[in-house]
């Protein structure tokens, strides 16, 4: 009998629960992979943190996941990608690292009137990485385009702290969608992995004619492509297994993992 190959072990992390949107896409794209997820809940959200703080947290969590046997890393956080992915890749050149950035390019392909909204954290929108992306894509756009950048202060925090359908979350979504609706945006980029968790509220505010752009599936495809070159994981790695870790109270992570992904898994406290 031919033994079943051991699956690869993929580490994933976000500032909090938002990366579950990426974890879900990864599980659909690579159901046999062993996934290790860390939510840095104790320090969420990253959107109002300094680049230095975000970089330090990113390196510590990456080291924790690598020590747990992760053969590659997915930074399921736009803010952490913007602040730290280049330094992390330079410091760990033998370890594949996949980042995530706002889906401005697909939004340009979807807009009909050239009015593109970008919902993201302030740290993401102010980062050099995002500004370079915006400039590069604007120069290559077919026809005039206007980018409406909406710093969604408080939205990721509301998603972390309140039920997804709570009045607090709905009010925060309404506040940040209003300027984009008034600007006539017909394509809106969800530039934080928390935001797909409340996409139904964003759609209700923006209207069914507006295209919402989420890059989780694109990240999953890129991860799967890189994973093909990895050797099997450590002995004992179970196909399709998921480990959940939180640096804060793990109950919120457990709750949303069950709601968003149908996973009934006890989350552990990550000592980082």
pLDDT in tens, 23-59: 999 999 999 999 999 999 999 999 889 999 999 999 9
By CB atoms closer than 10 A (0-12, 13-18, 19+), residue 1 is exposed
- Asked if residue 162 lies in contact with residue 169, where contact means CB atoms within 8 angstroms, the answer is yes
**pLDDT of amino acid 5:** 60
Helix and strand numbers, DSSP H then E, in the chain: 11, 10
For residue 45, cis peptide bond before it (omega within 30 degrees of 0): yes
d(CA 137, CA 139): 5
Task: Count the Cβ atoms, other than its own, within 10 Å of residue 266.
Answer: 10
pLDDT digits (tens, 9 = 90+) for 139-191: 766 778 999 999 999 999 999 999 999 999 999 999 999 999 999 999 999 99
pLDDT digits (tens, 9 = 90+) for 195-251: 999 999 999 999 999 999 999 999 999 999 999 999 888 887 899 999 999 999 999
- Asked if residue 94 lies in contact with residue 66, where contact means CB atoms within 8 angstroms, the answer is no
DSSP letter (8 states) at residue 31 = T
Q: Which residues are annotated as a binding site for substrate?
A: 14-15, 46-47, 78-79, 193-194
d(CA 134, CA 257): 33
Query: Would the pLDDT of 68 be above 70?
Result: yes
d(CA 171, CA 110): 27
222: its two tokens: 């890129």
d(CA 40, CA 34): 20
pLDDT digits (tens, 9 = 90+) for 83-122: 999 999 999 999 999 999 999 999 999 999 999 999 999 9
Residue 167 φ/ψ region, left for φ over 0, alpha for ψ in the -120 to 50 degree band, beta for the rest? alpha
Domains and CATH numbers, the chain: 9-100+217-269 (3.40.50.1860), 104-214 (3.40.50.1860)
d(CA 27, CA 10): 11
Question: Where residue 1 falls among pLDDT bands split at 50, 70, 90?
Answer: very low
d(CA 39, CA 249): 10
Query: Which are the catalytic amino acids?
Result: 77, 192
**pLDDT of amino acid 2:** 37
């Amino acid at each position: 009998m031919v033994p079943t190959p051991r699956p690869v072990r993929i580490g994933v992390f976000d500032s909090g629960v938002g990366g579950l949107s990426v974890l879900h896409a990864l599980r659909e794209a690579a159901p046999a992979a062993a996934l290790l997820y860390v939510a840095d809940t104790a320090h969420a959200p990253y959107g109002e943190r300094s680049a230095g703080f975000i970089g330090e947290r990113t390196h510590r969590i990456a080291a924790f996941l690598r020590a747990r046997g992760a053969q590659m890393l997915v930074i399921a956080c736009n803010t952490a990608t913007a602040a730290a992915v280049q330094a992390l890749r330079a410091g760990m050149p033998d370890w594949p690292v996949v980042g995530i950035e706002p889906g401005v390019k697909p939004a340009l392909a979807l807009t009909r009137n050239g009015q593109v909204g970008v919902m993201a954290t302030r740290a993401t929108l102010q980062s050099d990485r995002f500004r370079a992306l915006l400039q590069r894509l604007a120069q290559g756009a077919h026809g005039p385009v206007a980018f409406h950048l909406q710093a969604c202060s408080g939205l990721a925090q509301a998603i972390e702290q309140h039920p997804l359908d709570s009045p607090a979350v709905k009010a925060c979504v309404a506040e940040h969608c209003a300027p984009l609706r008034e600007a006539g945006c017909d394509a809106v980029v969800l530039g934080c992995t928390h935001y797909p968790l409340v996409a139904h509220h964003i759609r209700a505010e923006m209207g069914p004619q507006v295209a919402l752009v989420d890059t989780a599936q694109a990240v999953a495809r890129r991860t799967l492509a890189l994973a093909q070159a990895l050797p099997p994981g450590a002995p004992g790695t179970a196909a399709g297994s998921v480990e959940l870790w939180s640096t804060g109270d793990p109950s919120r992570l457990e709750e949303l993992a069950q709601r968003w992904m149908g996973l009934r898994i006890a989350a552990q406290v990550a000592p980082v």
